Every structure is written in C-alpha cells, then in structure tokens.
Amino acid sequence: MSAAAADWLPAADVTAAGRPVLTAGEVERHLVAQGDVEPEESPRLGPLRARLLVLTSHRLIFLHEPSRSARALPLAAVVHAYPPHRKHGHNPLRSIFSSSSSSSSHHPRVRLQISLPPSRSEVVAVVVSKGEADVFYGRLLEAVRARAWEVVAAVAAAPAGGSSAAQGAPAEEDLAIRMPVVGVSGILRMEQEAWESAGQNLQDAFQDLNALMSKAKEMMELAEKMRQKLLTNSSAQSNSNDEEMGSKQDMQDWLLSVGIVSPVTKETAGALYHQQLSRQLADYIRTPLEKAGGMMALVDVYCLYNRARGTELISPEDLLQACSLWEKFDVPVMLRKFDSGVKVIQTKTHSDDEVFARISSLAQKEDALQKGISPSDAAFTLGIAPALAKEHLLNAESIGILCRDVSPDGLRFYINLFNEIDPQNMYMPKTHGVYHTWISDTAASQ
C-alpha cells in the first residue's frame, strides 16, 4: 500500500484471523473476493489492488489478506454511486489508443463520488468482476440509503398519548353505526371487513416481530460492550477480592453466551462463505478455548458456535470444512485428530508435555499408586471433558508414562513402573523413586 493511499483512506482494524473488526451496530452486507479501487480524477490518490471488499452497514472495507492490513471508506462520505459500466466500453478506438494497459479496464466499474476532508470532492472507481458488479451495486445502494450510522435509538416518549388513544378507540367503536348484513352485498362487506381485520392483525404481528428482532440485536450489541468493558476493568484492576472477581467472571460468561452480532452467512459472503466462516470461527473460539484449558471437542464447539449464531445455524459439514481451512490461514487455533478418531480444536500454544506432566503427577499420588486413575479422575484434575481426558490418558500410555488395566471395575491407568526397573539388576530393591514408593504404600496397606 502506497503512502498516498494511506493519506485518503483511514486504516481499519483486523482480527487475528484476518477479519475486519466491526464497530458497534455494524453488520456485514456483502463480500467481493477481489476488487480494485482506482481514483479517476486526482493522481494524488494511490490505487488499491487485489483487495477483499467487505461492504458493511457503515463502511466499505478494503482488506489485504496477505499483510493483514485494511483501509475503510465510510459510507457517510459517499455522495453518489453510479451504476456499473465498463471503462472505454462505449468507444473501442479509445480503448485501443488508451495509455492504460491495466486488465481492470475491461471489468465493470462502480464509480463513487465521495467527500473527503476538509471539503474535497473526489471520484473513485471500484473495479469488480462482471458477475459481481450488479449485486455489489445493489447492496451498496441499500446500505447508503439505509444510513445505519445515523440511526439513533428512539426514545419512547409518548406512552401516555398511545394509551389515551387506545382508551378512546373503544368509545369511537361503540359510537360507530354498524350497517346490517343484508343480501349478497352485506355478505361481501362482511368478508371484506374480515380480510381487512386479518391483514391488520398480520401487519401488527410482523411489526412486533421486527421490533423484537431489532431489540434483540441491540441487546447483543449492549452485551458485547459490557463484556469488553469488563475485560478492560479486570485487566486494569488486578487487586480486587476473589468474590468480586468471581462475579465479574460469571457476568462475562453470561455475556459471552449472548451471541455473535454479525454472523457470516451464505447470503452475504457468497463464494467466500467457508473462508470467512473459518476466520470468524477462529476469532470466536479463542476465548472459550482459553477457559477450557486450550482444547475442546469438535461436538462441543459445534453446539457452542451454533448457539452464538442464533437463527443463522450451520451444518456439521460446514463446521468441519471451516476448520480444515485453518491450515491455509495463519490463525492461532488448529484442528486435531486423535488416533481413536476423536476430533478436537486446540490452540497452537497447547502443549501435550504439560498435560502429561500433570497426569504423571496425579498417577504418583498415594491413592493412585494403589487404585489407579480413571478418565473421570483425570478430567477433574485437568478441568476438561472425560472423553478428552481419556484421549490424553491413552496418549500418555502410548509414550510409556502409564500402563492400562481393564477389569470388571472399568478402565484404569497406573504409573509405568517398568521404566525404573534395571534389566541388569532386576531383583535388587531400590531405596528411592516411584517404584520404592509403590512398594512402601503396598506394604503399608497390607
């Protein structure tokens, strides 16, 4: 990105997975896999090439995925958007003798008249592929006309007027003169009134539903703001007592379960659906993974992520495909498959050596030396699900830390004492080590 480009387009924040950070109330509207931005009048403005275009309700974001950098054009700066057309398309001779040899000259261009500070008007062209031009232009017009950045929560200041009107309605209805139902015309009139009443009820129901959906969105945005504030306060005030920190943690967990404000959908992402779903999932799952010890079963992730998406549910195949794309992206999470076939999601900083050390310490306790440990015991110590604890125990067995015992009492694991037996002095008792501790505890129990 050139210095000239940085002068006229403000920078936009990008998440660790390479997705733009949306502001409060901002929602994704459309994505274009690749596009260019070219100034048409001022040579001082530098072009942007090969960008992922993210159209939101507030901005037009140009994301350069390799460098994880982004620039954004506020939709409030768009004065007018012109329908897509091809450059030089109306004059073949001009295209032949034109000095511009860029391949973008043959692609549709959506020209935007924008207002830049302090009071400068410029014309830029957004160059997209032929199949994307009309859809992108339509979504852009919808976003500009909606002016979501100007929407302010309306204050319900007229409940009294509404109640008085509601109280006056029955009186007017009682005073109204009802025409008798006589003949065919009366039956038709009665049917017409029934249709009008049903239509009014249906309209009121949809208004209530739209109000409920808008309020739900506002509540999700409010929850996200409160969660971010709690995170900021908890990092700034580290000397709080345990009870206060516990209440903050509970509140943060509740707010985290409210959901995602702008989930990636097939309608907005189009052909980039699985790619953007993979990046959004990587951003979302980081906090739950940290709370779960760095690893979660894929089934648990599926349930948790779908609950966060609300009504925009995804299929298990979509989730698996999104996770498989992490190998191509530089994200801090990864998909892992155990030898038994169990699939989990874990952070890249997760270390099996630390888990094995904790399992070994648990297996060397006095009770564990005599009775062994079960997957439930390991799950309680590690703070993970029993199914994942069993996989860790099996892995510890495969590298020689534990030994397995399958009996009518169930599956139990013991510390591997064969590692301490010297083949040259097999019958010589030792006065130190885990083997000596096991002998002492066994003799004491008898």
Residue 298: give its domain's CATH number: 1.10.10.10
Residues 16, 143: one domain?
A: yes
Give a yes or no: residue 49 inside a domain: yes
How far apart (Å, rounded) are the C-alpha atoms in residues 56 and 307? 23
Tokens of 370: 């005599």
Residues 40, 114: one domain?
A: yes
Residue 20: give its domain's CATH number: 2.30.29.30
Residues 407, 342: one domain?
A: no
Residues 291, 390: one domain?
A: no
How far apart (Å, rounded) are the C-alpha atoms in residues 365 and 223? 44
Answer whether 153's CB lies under 8 Å from 103's CB: no
Tens digits of pLDDT across the chain (446 residues):
444 445 678 899 999 888 999 887 788 999 998 888 888 887 778 888 878 999 999 999 999 888 888 999 999 999 999 998 865 444 444 444 444 444 455 778 899 999 887 778 888 999 988 888 889 999 999 999 988 888 743 333 334 444 444 444 444 444 334 444 445 666 777 777 777 777 777 677 666 666 666 666 666 666 666 656 665 665 555 555 555 555 555 555 555 555 677 889 888 888 899 999 999 999 999 888 988 888 999 999 999 999 888 778 899 999 999 999 999 988 999 999 998 889 999 999 888 899 999 999 998 888 888 888 999 999 998 888 888 999 999 999 999 999 998 888 788 999 888 877 766 776 666 666 666 566 666 656 65
Q: Which of 318, 347, 376 is the last residue of a domain?
A: 347
Between helix 183-236 and helix 242-256 the angle, nearest 10°, is: 140
Q: What is the length of the chain?
A: 446
Residues 126, 22: one domain?
A: yes
- Which residue stretches of 117-241 are H helix? 130-146, 159-175, 183-236
Domain tally, the chain? 3
Give a yes or no: residue 329 inside a domain: yes
Residue type, position 402, single letter: L
pTM score: 0.69
Residues 24, 119: one domain?
A: yes
What is the residue range of 409's domain?
Answer: 352-444
Residues 15, 145: one domain?
A: yes
Give a yes or no: residue 122 inside a domain: yes
Residues 342, 440: one domain?
A: no
